[in-house]
């Protein structure tokens, strides 16, 4: 039995290829209501994943099989299959999810052990179980794994059919609509189309355009949600990118444009995907604890939700922050720099614990990936002990990333008639628009105070010792070609 999880494809699918070689295949997907009741999950995430399950169901049907879809716990699904078909071998991809999926996987392993059922797990990302791989060997191992040949869809599969192939709706899982207006198209054909258009058309300005939500919307790959659903494998994206890199390198100089730097930069991000996931895999507690434990409790949970609510609803009184939040709410996606700015604003200006603001963002991201999200959230909050402290100015980012003001005016229509300074800093007007809130905090004063507190901790001997230990466990040992030039790293610190 092939248990499909977040690997919803037939191509380059190690578990499916292995099962098909060894006998009949029963393909299973389980929609788990207990997972979808967690505070980091949401309607938009299921809507996207559901589309990817439907796409897989079609692919399997086109190959003569039927995807068995069940609603409930995985153990219940396995019980019912065992009762109908007798013993089987279970195969799946290894998952680095949140604490809940980690416990679920342990329970499934226990279920199999109790019944003498073999459960084989296959690696799908450049992520190794726990701390089984020496961090110094990680980058080389990633390259090796991603360079292995892609596994084709097995040419002959003897399918076993069981139960219904109806995919539960959001209502079946008790999920309420969450304000998503413009959900990205899910499923394998959409994923392939997205990859193709990025590599051949949209991606040329990637390196420059990725920083702004205005240009990033089309110039970024937009593959993140497809990775989460597993509609594409990391290896096929990596290999397609290498092929394109080779192709553009041979173009006449006049036609090459900025493609070479775009491809190089994108390949770096593919490494980051797994580099971050490896952190959570090595230390699952960092879903709720800072990597540097010294920072634990630094930002206490506030007595009321006023600041968190203002942040979550895009009502902070900072036009560009609110525009980004409202855009994210409507689309389920925003570019990296604006994610970093949102987390910086919540952490430094509002002094909210990243666990709280991170949960708000997790629900809003269609591409919520715990292994990237939690390490990134605490990194942007300055609690890893190994990364530079980056406090983004919400005002400067507005001027830099939305120079025309169109994005801000569109998402904050209360300010539709304003431009320039009046738009990004409406509190400086003699008569600010009454329909828009005043700033909930003073961004300069709060940033100053936050830096003081963080640096006071970072300068202690204890912090230095802890940071060495964190670096040993989680730090990046980048291959030389992916290192950021010193000048750029310095510029990033002055964000
Ligand atoms: C606070 C915060 C939370 C984040 N949460 C998530 C999350 O839940 N899920 C998620 O996929 N990404 C997350 N990111 C990373 C990054 O913002 C997104 O991967 C990216 O914006 C997705 O858009 P894209 O696919 O067009 O990216 P591209 O720029 O086209 O990058 C291609 C792929 O590389 C990987 N990648 C890119 N940037 C990063 C990064 N900084 N760290 C790790 N991997 C990266 C992603 O898999 C991405 O799909 C987070 C970043 C921050 C600052």
Q: Which atom of ligand 1 is found nearest the CA of 343? A: 1
Query: Mind giving me the DSSP string for 362-426?
Result: HHH-TT--HHHHHHHHHHHTT-SSSS------HHHHHHHH-TTSHHHHHH-GGGTT--HHHHH-G
Specify the pairing of strand 68-71 against strand 27-31. Answer: parallel
Question: Is residue 493 pLDDT above 50, yes or no?
Answer: no
Asked whether the beta carbons of 57 and 186 are under 8 A apart, the reply is: no
What is the rounded distance in angstroms from the CA atom of residue 158 to the CA atom of residue 25? 6
Residues 6+ apart with CB under 8 A from 449: none
Asked whether the beta carbons of 347 and 264 are under 8 A apart, the reply is: no
**Which residue has a Cα nearest atom 18 of ligand 1?**
336
Q: What is the pLDDT at residue 134?
A: 85
Asked whether the beta carbons of 321 and 345 are under 8 A apart, the reply is: yes
Q: What would the pLDDT profile of 231-254 be if each residue is shown by its tens digit?
A: 999 999 999 999 999 999 999 999
User: How far apart are the CA of 328 and the centre of ligand 1, in A?
Assistant: 14
Judged by DSSP in three states, 214 sits in helix
User: How far apart are the CA of 336 and the centre of ligand 1, in A?
Assistant: 6
Which residue would you say has higher pLDDT here, 385 or 371? 371
Q: How confident is the model at residue 136 (pLDDT cuts 50, 70, 90)?
A: confident
User: How far apart are the CA of 38 and the centre of ligand 1, in A?
Assistant: 22
Question: Is residue 343 pLDDT above 50, yes or no?
Answer: yes
Report CA Rg, the chain: 23
Question: Is residue 452 pLDDT above 90, yes or no?
Answer: yes
Question: Is residue 359 pLDDT above 70, yes or no?
Answer: yes
Q: Determine the longest span between alpha carbons in the chain, in angstroms.
A: 77
Q: What is the pLDDT at residue 130?
A: 87
Using CA atoms, how far residue 477 sits from 170, 240, 268, 275, 447, in Å, is: 42, 25, 13, 10, 31
| pLDDT, average across residues 139-154 | 96
Q: 208, 244, 269, 482: which to mutate for ligand 1, most atoms within 8 A of CB?
A: 269
User: How far apart are the CA of 224 and the centre of ligand 1, in A?
Assistant: 6
**Which residue has a Cα nearest atom 24 of ligand 1?**
222
Q: What is the pLDDT at residue 133?
A: 86
User: How far apart are the CA of 275 and the centre of ligand 1, in A?
Assistant: 12
User: How far apart are the CA of 223 and the centre of ligand 1, in A?
Assistant: 9
| pLDDT, average across residues 52-57 | 98
Among 42, 4, 383, smallest CA distance to 183 is for 42
Asked whether the beta carbons of 291 and 245 are under 8 A apart, the reply is: no
Calculate the average pLDDT of the chain.
Answer: 95
What is the rounded distance in angstroms from the CA atom of residue 449 to the CA atom of residue 149? 53
What is the rounded distance in angstroms from the CA atom of residue 24 to the CA atom of residue 313? 50
Q: What would the pLDDT profile of 10-42 be if each residue is shown by its tens digit?
A: 999 999 999 999 999 999 999 999 999 999 999
**Which residue has a Cα nearest atom 45 of ligand 1?**
273
Domains along the chain with CATH numbers: 2-124 (3.40.50.620), 188-282 (1.25.40), 286-493 (1.10.579.10)
Q: What is the pLDDT at residue 483?
A: 52
User: How far apart are the CA of 486 and the centre of ligand 1, in A?
Assistant: 22
**Which residue has a Cα nearest atom 50 of ligand 1?**
373
Question: Is residue 485 pLDDT above 90, yes or no?
Answer: no
User: How far apart are the CA of 396 and the centre of ligand 1, in A?
Assistant: 22
User: How far apart are the CA of 229 and the centre of ligand 1, in A?
Assistant: 14
Q: 215, 219, 376: which to mutate for ligand 1, most atoms within 8 A of CB?
A: 376
Run of H or E including 323: helix 319-331
Asked whether the beta carbons of 183 and 225 are under 8 A apart, the reply is: no
User: How far apart are the CA of 245 and the centre of ligand 1, in A?
Assistant: 21
**Which residue has a Cα nearest atom 11 of ligand 1?**
224
Question: Nearest 5°: phi and psi at 108?
Answer: -65, -40
Run of H or E including 4: strand 2-4
Question: Is residue 214 pLDDT above 50, yes or no?
Answer: yes
Asked whether the beta carbons of 282 and 130 are under 8 A apart, the reply is: yes
What is the rounded distance in angstroms from the CA atom of residue 469 to the CA atom of residue 467? 5
Residue 490 Rama label (left phi>0; alpha psi -120 to 50; beta): alpha
| pLDDT, average across residues 270-297 | 96
Written in H, E and C, the secondary structure of 270-305 is HHHHHHHHHHHHHCHHHHCCCCCHHHCCCCCCCCCC
| pLDDT, average across residues 446-471 | 93
User: How far apart are the CA of 337 and the centre of ligand 1, in A?
Assistant: 10
Q: How far is CA 165 from the centre of its chain?
A: 28
Question: Is residue 490 pLDDT above 70, yes or no?
Answer: no
Q: 228, 229, 367: which to mutate for ligand 1, most atoms within 8 A of CB?
A: 367
Asked whether the beta carbons of 10 and 43 are under 8 A apart, the reply is: no
From edge to edge, which strands make up the β-sheet containing 90-93? 68-71, 27-31, 2-4, 90-93, 119-122
Question: Is residue 323 pLDDT above 80, yes or no?
Answer: yes
The residue to which tokens 């879903």 are assigned: 287
Q: How confident is the model at residue 475 (pLDDT cuts 50, 70, 90)?
A: confident
Q: What is the pLDDT at residue 495?
A: 47
Handedness of CA 87, 92, 96, 100 (dihedral sign): negative
DSSP 8-state assignment for residue 150: P
**Which residue has a Cα nearest atom 6 of ligand 1?**
373
**Which residue has a Cα nearest atom 1 of ligand 1?**
377
List the beta bridge partners of residue 91. 2, 120
Asked whether the beta carbons of 385 and 292 are under 8 A apart, the reply is: yes
**Which residue has a Cα nearest atom 16 of ligand 1?**
336
Among 215, 377, 180, smallest CA distance to 280 is for 377
Written in H, E and C, the secondary structure of 28-94 is EEEECHHHHCCCCCCHHHHHHHHHHHHHHHHHHHHCCCCCEEEECCHHHHHHHHHHHHCCCCEEEEC
CB within 6 Å of ligand 1 — which residues? 210, 220-224, 227, 269-270, 272-273, 276, 335-336, 339-340, 343, 365, 367-369, 372-373, 376-377, 380
């Amino acid at each position: 039995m092939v248990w499909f999880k977040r690997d919803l494809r037939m191509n380059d699918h190690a578990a499916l290829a292995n099962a098909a070689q060894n006998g009949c295949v029963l393909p299973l997907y389980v929609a788990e209501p207990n997972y979808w009741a967690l505070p980091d999950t949401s309607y938009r995430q299921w809507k996207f994943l559901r589309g990817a399950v439907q796409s897989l169901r079609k692919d399997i049907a086109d190959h003569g099989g039927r995807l068995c879809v069940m609603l409930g716990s995985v153990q219940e699904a396995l019980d019912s299959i065992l009762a109908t078909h007798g013993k089987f071998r279970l195969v799946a991809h290894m998952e680095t999810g949140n604490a809940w999926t980690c416990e679920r996987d342990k329970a499934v392993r226990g279920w199999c052990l109790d019944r003498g059922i073999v459960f084989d797990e296959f690696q799908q990302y450049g992520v190794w179980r726990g701390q089984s791989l020496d961090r110094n060997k990680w980058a080389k191992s990633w390259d090796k794994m991603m360079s292995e040949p892609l596994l084709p869809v097995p040419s002959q599969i003897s399918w076993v059919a069981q139960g219904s192939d109806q995919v539960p709706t959001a209502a079946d899982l008790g999920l309420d609509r969450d304000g998503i207006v413009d959900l990205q198209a899910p499923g394998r054909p959409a994923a392939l189309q997205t990859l193709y258009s990025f590599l051949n058309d949209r991606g040329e300005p990637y390196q420059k355009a990725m920083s702004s939500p205005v240009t990033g919307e089309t110039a970024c790959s937009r593959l993140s949600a497809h990775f989460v659903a597993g509609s594409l494998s990391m290896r096929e994206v990596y290999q397609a990118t290498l092929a394109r890199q080779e192709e553009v390198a041979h173009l006449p100089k006049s036609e090459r444009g900025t493609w070479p730097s775009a491809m190089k930069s994108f390949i770096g991000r593919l490494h980051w995907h797994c580099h971050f996931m490896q952190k959570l895999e090595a230390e699952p507690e960092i879903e709720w604890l800072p990597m540097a434990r010294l920072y634990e409790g630094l930002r206490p949970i506030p007595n009321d939700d006023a600041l968190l609510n203002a942040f979550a609803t895009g009502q902070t009184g900072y036009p560009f922050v609110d525009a980004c939040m409202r855009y994210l709410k409507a689309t389920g996606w925003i570019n990296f720099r604006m994610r970093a700015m949102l987390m910086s604003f919540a952490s430094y200006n509002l002094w909210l614990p990243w666990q709280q603001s991170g949960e708000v963002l997790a629900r809003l991201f269609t591409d919520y990936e715990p292994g990237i999200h939690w390490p990134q959230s605490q990194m942007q909050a300055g609690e890893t002990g190994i990364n530079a402290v980056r406090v983004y100015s919400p005002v400067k980012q507005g001027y830099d990333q939305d120079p025309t003001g169109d994005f801000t005016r569109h998402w904050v229509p209360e300010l539709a008639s304003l431009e320039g300074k009046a738009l990004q800093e409406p509190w400086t007007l003699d008569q600010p628009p009454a329909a828009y809130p005043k700033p909930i905090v003073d961004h300069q004063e709060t940033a100053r105070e936050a830096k003081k507190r963080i640096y006071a901790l970072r300068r202690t001997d204890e912090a230095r010792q802890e940071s060495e230990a964190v670096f040993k466990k989680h730090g990046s040992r980048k291959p030389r070609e992916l290192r950021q030039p010193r000048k750029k790293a310095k510029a990033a610190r002055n964000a």
